[in-house]
Structure 1
Amino acid sequence: MNNDEAPPHEQNKMVSPPTTTSLSLPNDILLSFLSRVSRLYYPTFSLVSKSFRSLIASPELYQTRSFLHRTESCLYVCLRSLTDSNLRWFTLCRVPDRKLTNFSGPINDAPSSRVSFLDCRVLDGKIYVAGGCEDCDSLNCIEVFDPNTQSWESVASHGRCERLAYKSVGIEGKFHLLGGASHVAYNYREGRWDSMGTEMDMGRAWVSYCVIKNILLYYHERDREFKWYDYKGRFWRKLMGLERLVKFLCYSRVNLADYGGKMAVLWDTFVPGSGSKNKMIWCAEVSLGSHEVYDICGEIEWFDVVLRVSKSYELVHVIAATV
């Protein structure tokens, strides 16, 4: 043995393990990384550390995703318990399968979610909000918010209280009010109100509706069918292609949303054999296409049960947002 070499058992003692340094990446690098990852994986990343969880909930992440053109359409669903009036918000997760995931954990354990939304329409980069005025004789029940100036302004009314309007939609660059005595639309380019007649108005039948690529669609509970509005003929047409889907029961609550250019349909039914004790929340994704005969036809891409809850829960809101 060479005198300069130590025995094997002494060599192990002499060799020191390599030192490791805990390196934390700057937030801007983490934001750039997270913005390139689908939001479907954010719940998992939020478990990595507090810093990850903080970045995922930060407005800077949305700004980075917008700058890199990596935004996605996300579907949010609100359920309300009839026993305690609590609101619980869910998001549709597609990995590993399509299920509604509660923001705070299992529905039986999660407290009511502190989430709210503003029922408004965005036109020309500005946010239009109708209703909410205390004075029913006021002619300024509509307000518009300009994100550039961070200021609110009143929009001169057409002469009746907007609290009587049950729904508002943005179609072809106009702010439409539906459900009152007549259908009117605000033309913001010319600063005037236009009367649209009564053909489009459905009164209190407006429960489930959405606008997709300037196409107004809604589900008529009495007729149990989907309809779309023909602007040229000024009448409603049945949306064909959904016969396999339309098997809703009379008690089913149906909600629609523009889900990234497709129509998301959510409804509830009782679980068979449960004695009406439990409900199933269903979701369907429908694409719209042109048809030689029907002009517009729906195509069901998928539909399935996405959540099971007790009978005390009901659908309240379905919202799709680009984030």
Structure 2
Amino acid sequence: MSAAATPPLIPSLPDDVAVNIIARVPRSHHPALSLVSRSFRSLLSSPLLFAARRLLRGTEPSLYLTLRHPSSPTHLWFTLHSSPTSPERRRLVPIAPIPSSSIGSTFAALGPLIYVLGGSVNDVALPCVWVLDCRFHRWEPGPAMRVGREFAAAGVVGEKLYVMGGCTVDTWSRASHWAEVLDPGARSWAAVSSSSIEVREKWMHASAVVDGKIYAMADRGGVVYDVDKAVWESVESELDMGWRGRACVIDGVLYCYDYLGKIRGFDMRARVWKELKGVGSGLPKFLCGATMANLGGNLVVVWERKGGGKVMEVWCAEIAVKKDEYGELVGCICWSDSVLEVSNESSIVTCLAVAL
């Protein structure tokens, strides 16, 4: 007897048409859709649906956050969820933690994947790579780097992942592989020529990608790698003096915090720092542990705030940013709320945005 035919996703419609329809449904409604049938549940967790969403340009930005807690051997991972019945209510929901334990890892998002690069255990830098498939919240080991790294810089250009720094140059191998590039399709790393670099710091405190150029900031100075031209340059002093800590890029403007706790943006075309206006009254002046990400063209800021007793609250704000008619940077806070409560011994490591 032949096996029973698989029932159609939607009766009276071909499955390819049904997939096209379901792929247009916002991800916040997927939990409810998964209750419709086994076929729906299977489709919602399949690569087919994500491929269809990408073809339809229906992907949505999703925010992922990593926390460190002294009692946990690994970093804690969360993703930001909105309730389909109360979209204004957002919470960080835990997902599977990374299988390994290390400090000083570097993070980068490429398509639906988050790469966790290196880190150290007992002060020994590691070359290992872990990959989180954000579509299914599954971890798998990635191709190891040529050298161990901690506190490196990373950036994605042209579907390839570049990593630099985080290692000493005391051997020929480390010197020749101070910068590497990963081809995800081939699952292999290759050295990026960096013999002309004057700054070869071990630790990098920040990185960003602007117009195909990777900016990597060390404690003293920084470097820029133009991927298309394969040329290295030093970071100009104006950008170097104003850029401290985590940053993100939106429409050619690099946003970060200054020493006074204000958000400022460096206009890469005008080559000047400008304060982000319009958000002063809506955000605390000093944001402890603050980090930020480009969430679908909006600036998302995540920070720590002490709660009651031994509780630490994680706060998040989404800000629509633009240039006004005078070229000034203006922001409008779309929403701001506490999205998680954890032990006050916890601390924010980083946040990243992924299109799903």
TM norm structure 2 = 0.70
Indicate yes or no: 2:265 matched with 1:228. yes
Query: Which residue, out of 271, 277, 281, partners 2:314?
Result: 281
Quote the residue 1:266 is aligned against: 302
Residues 22 and 280 (structure 1), Cα distance of their counterparts in 2 relative to 1, 3 Å cut = farther
Does the aligned pair in 2 maintain the 1:179–1:202 contact within 8 Å? no
Listed one character per residue, the Cα deviations across residues 117-144 of structure 1 (whole Å, up to 9, x for unaligned) are 3464222332222235464551332222
Indicate yes or no: 2:225 matched with 1:186. yes
Does the aligned pair in 1 maintain the 2:207–2:247 contact within 8 Å? no
Range with greater deviation from structure 2 (183-192 or 28-37):
28-37
Residues 82 and 31 (structure 1), Cα distance of their counterparts in 2 relative to 1, 3 Å cut = farther
| Residue identity opposite 1:37 in structure 2 | V
Q: Distance in 1 between matches of 2:279 and 2:91?
A: 23
Query: Which residue, out of 51, 64, 80, partners 1:92?
Result: 80
Query: Which residue, out of 140, 162, 168, partners 2:207?
Result: 168
Does the aligned pair in 1 maintain the 2:248–2:254 contact within 8 Å? yes
Q: Distance in 2 between matches of 1:190 and 1:99?
A: 43
Q: Distance in 2 between matches of 1:238 and 1:194?
A: 26
Does the aligned pair in 2 maintain the 1:82–1:314 contact within 8 Å? no
Does the aligned pair in 2 maintain the 1:136–1:163 contact within 8 Å? no
**SS of match in other structure, 2:115:** coil
Residues 39 and 233 (structure 1), Cα distance of their counterparts in 2 relative to 1, 3 Å cut = closer
Cα offset, 1:225, TM superposition: 0.9
Q: Distance in 2 between matches of 1:114 and 1:248?
A: 37
Larger radius of gyration: 1
Listed one character per residue, the Cα deviations across residues 215-273 of structure 1 (whole Å, up to 9, x for unaligned) are 101023x31111111445644322221111331457x22110000001001112122xx
Cα offset, 1:22, TM superposition: 9.3
Does the aligned pair in 1 maintain the 2:206–2:246 contact within 8 Å? no
Q: Distance in 2 between matches of 1:86 and 1:242?
A: 35
Q: Distance in 1 between matches of 2:50 and 2:178?
A: 31
| Residue identity opposite 2:62 in structure 1 | C
Quote the residue 1:121 is aligned against: 155
Q: Give the fraction of aligned pairs with identical amino acids, expressed as a percent.
A: 31
The equivalences for 1:103-114 within 5 A come to 103-104=94-95, 112=97
**SS of match in other structure, 2:29:** helix
Range with greater deviation from structure 2 (43-52 or 89-98):
43-52
Indicate yes or no: 2:341 matched with 1:308. yes
Residues 136 and 259 (structure 1), Cα distance of their counterparts in 2 relative to 1, 3 Å cut = farther
Does the aligned pair in 2 maintain the 1:90–1:100 contact within 8 Å? no
The equivalences for 1:136-147 within 5 A come to 136=170, 138-147=175-184
Residues 47 and 180 (structure 1), Cα distance of their counterparts in 2 relative to 1, 3 Å cut = farther
| Residue identity opposite 1:178 in structure 2 | M
Count of equivalent residues? 291
What's the Cα RMSD here?
3.1
Does the aligned pair in 2 maintain the 1:88–1:102 contact within 8 Å? no
Does the aligned pair in 2 maintain the 1:79–1:88 contact within 8 Å? yes
**SS of match in other structure, 2:190:** strand
